[in-house]
Amino acid sequence: MEMTILSVAEHIGAAVEGDPSVEITGVASIEEAIPGDLVFAETERLFRAAEESQATAIIAPVGLGVSRKPVLRVHRPRYAFARALELFAPEQSVKVGVHPTAVLGESARLGHSVAIQPYCVIGKNVRIGNRVVIYPFVYIGNDVTIGDDTIIYPNTAIHDRTEIGHRVVINSGCVIGADGFGFLIHEGRHYKIPQIGNVSIGDDVEIGANATIDRARTGTTRIHRGTKIDNLVQIAHNVEIGEDCIIVAQVGISGSVEVGDRVILAGQAGIKDNIAIGSDSMVGAQAGVIGDVPPNSVVSGYPARPHKDQMRVHASLHRLPEIVKTFPEIAVAIQRLTERIEELEQRLDGSGQ
């Protein structure tokens, strides 16, 4: 793919400094750039690195640096770079139509321009929106609905009654709507509590590879609009996650947790069941949340507490061994001082003062 700097600039809304007719053939990081590449520099340091790199042109914020290379000046450089990446993204050639090997259940209703690739199995009474793409080895149970422009990558299983919105991306290997993990002790053994609810995924949600989202016991496990979920995340039954959250890889969210809007859960964090995490909060990597988190909080550690307190604790921890070692000496010192004072007191008493 080849485009002039002028065409790229028009697409990303940039002003061009330098020759607008120069050809761009790719987008790269500064370290890996080869001639023809467009790179992105947000700071003085990166701008200088870009200038010295083999890159042909630079996207940079207005007012940053001067270059002999053509510069595409923008106000929101990260967004502009994302838009440039879109231009040079390898084409996804998806063949519209239902592959003859796909097995469709009764009463399936498909929108137009749907692509159902080889070896998909789709249950009864499934509704699939327009321009949906379903990759090979996707299993879709009965009574599932899928909105327009949604993409489901290979080897994913969507169980009965799941509701999926528009423009959802479900990466490979996900399991959506498996039974929640619910048992009770009956006659000394674990008795399965039927999980008769479902899962609902809002518009513009993205779900990472091999993530699992369990159906509700009764009612619905809900992921609201715009939330992005990374790989290998576990979301248990009856969880409700608000809008525009970021759930990083390997996070585990236990049953009936409520997460507000715009919450960030960093990697490998774990949330105890029946906890509420307020909107605009952030939970640190590997944190273990065992109590409610108010809105606008930043918590970390196990058990999770305000991040500032936690950082103070971590900063003091390496002093602990010394304190533990010295601590008994203090008791001894105080004891020794007490004895010397008693002696002094006795001497003074003895002297009649």
Query: For residues 317-346, which are near a second copy according to CB under 8 A?
Result: 317-321, 323-327, 330-331, 333-334, 337-338, 340-341, 344-345
Angle at 264 between CA 260 and CA 85, to 5 degrees: 120
Q: Tell me how long the chain is.
A: 353
Contact status: 226 vs a second copy (CB under 8 A) = yes
Spell out, one character per residue from 162 to 201, where the chain touches a second copy: x when CB under 8 A holds, - when not: -------x-xxxxx--xx-x-xx-x-xxxxxxx-x-----
Give the footprint of a second copy on residues 54-73 (CB under 8 A): none
Give just the sign of the alpha carbon dihedral 310, 311, 312, 315. positive
Interface region with a second copy, contact rule CB under 8 A, candidates 6-14, 63-71, 107-115, 312-320: 312-320
x/- site string to a second copy, residues 133 to 152, per CB under 8 A? --xxx-x--xx---------
Q: Is 237 a catalytic residue?
A: yes
Does 264 engage in binding with a second copy (CB under 8 A)?
A: no
Among 67, 254, 281, 297, binds a second copy (CB under 8 A): 254
259 binds a second copy (CB under 8 A): no
Among 285, 295, 298, 307, contact with a second copy (rule: CB under 8 A): 285
Does 155 bind a second copy (CB under 8 A)? Our answer is: yes
Residues 289-308 that bind a second copy (CB under 8 A): 290, 301-303, 305
> What's the CA dihedral at 281, 282, 283, 284 to 10 degrees?
-160
Give me the active site residues, please: 237
